[in-house]
Amino acid sequence: MHDEIRRLAREKNAIILAHNYQRYEVQLAADLVGDSLGLSAKAAETDARMIVFAGVHFMAESAKILSPGKKVVMPRSDAGCPLADTITVEKLRALQAEHPGAPTVCYINSAAAIKAEVDVCCTSANMDKVVASLPERKVLFVPDGNMGRYLQKLLPEKEIITWKGVCPTHHRLRAEQVLEVKRQHPAAKFIAHPECRLEVIELADAVRSTTGFLRYAKESEATEFIVGTETGLIPRLEAENPGKRFYPASEAMVCPNMKMTNLEDVLAVLENEDNEILVPDDIRVRAVGSLERMLKIT
């Protein structure tokens, strides 16, 4: 099936993107594997006619925002993000009305319509730099409340107003689970994602984005690691770091939305070119602005 996917992708001038949390067999079929914004940015630089994004809905929207002239399709158009779904434009505008004059920072894990309503976007790798760059003391941060609470700890000089959203997969991890795995593997370094609870982050040797996990594991002299993010990252960590061991902080850290896509779905969307992702131009232009302001800062 990999061979047929590759053949069709070449025939149709398509580039296949897979997020780090996708099934490993889907990652192996992709041209590029990485985090959501990085994949979209790299795909925009290519001359591909079509982008096939194996991920969740907001990721494919980001690809369309950065590549308006390319056709963007998803193998599974019903793969959404529970975190992104916690906030709507109406709810965001109501929050902004409660705090007039406070700039809004939006985590990249948000719908295009939300990106269009905020002052600037951020990623899990640059969120502290983005928020610290703003002259205002009070900052609204949406939609990830756990990430906002971690930012408040990093930037005590700021007053960060957080939204109530969380990533269910990362929020599921508790401190006692981490302590138990650390007891079983006392030499292992614990890496946590900033979408985790603050109680979990406080136990971490490093707090990183998905790309940051890969970099930390490669550069560290340690040979054992406890992985505090979606378990789909572990096969890639193992493949890129032979001789090193990786243990999930919890076997339950599996995102069902990220695991919806299989090879049959990738093949089918290449054959049919359906499940197209469209972003209205007025939303796209404003969303691009919030991304460009982030890039200027970082």
Mean pLDDT, to the nearest integer, of 148-159?
98
Let me know if the fold of 2-80+258-279 is the same as that of 84-168+286-297: yes
**pLDDT over 90 at 259, yes or no:** yes
Closest CA to 149 of 209, 199, 212: 199
Class of domain 173-248: alpha beta
Q: Supply the pLDDT for residue 298.
A: 84
Query: Contact 105/144 with Cβ under 8 angstroms?
Result: no
The C-alpha atoms of residue 159 and residue 56 are separated, in whole angstroms, by 31
Render pLDDT for 62-112 as a digit per residue (tens, 0 to 9): 999 999 999 999 999 999 999 999 999 999 999 999 999 999 999 999 999
Render pLDDT for 226-251 as a digit per residue (tens, 0 to 9): 999 999 999 999 999 999 999 999 99
Where along the chain do its domains lie? 2-80+258-279, 84-168+286-297, 173-248
Query: Which residues sit opposite 206 in a β-bridge?
Result: 191
CATH topology for the 84-168+286-297 domain: Rossmann fold (3.40.50)
**pLDDT over 90 at 36, yes or no:** no
Query: Which residues sit opposite 173 in a β-bridge?
Result: none
Residue 79: CB partners within 8 Å, gap ≥ 6?
A: 55, 56, 57, 257, 258, 260, 261
Residue 137 is encoded by which pair of tokens?
A: 């003391």
What length is written for the chain?
A: 298
Between CA 90 and CA 106, with CA 143 as vertex, the angle to 5 degrees is 90
Listing DSSP states for 114-165 in one string gives HHTTSSEEE-TTTHHHHHHH-S-SEEEEESBHHHHHHHHHH-TTSEEEE-SB
CA distances from 98 to 91, 118, 137, 181, 237 (A): 11, 15, 16, 43, 43
Tell if the pTM clears 0.85, that is, is over it: yes
CATH topology for the 2-80+258-279 domain: Rossmann fold (3.40.50)
The C-alpha atoms of residue 256 and residue 62 are separated, in whole angstroms, by 21
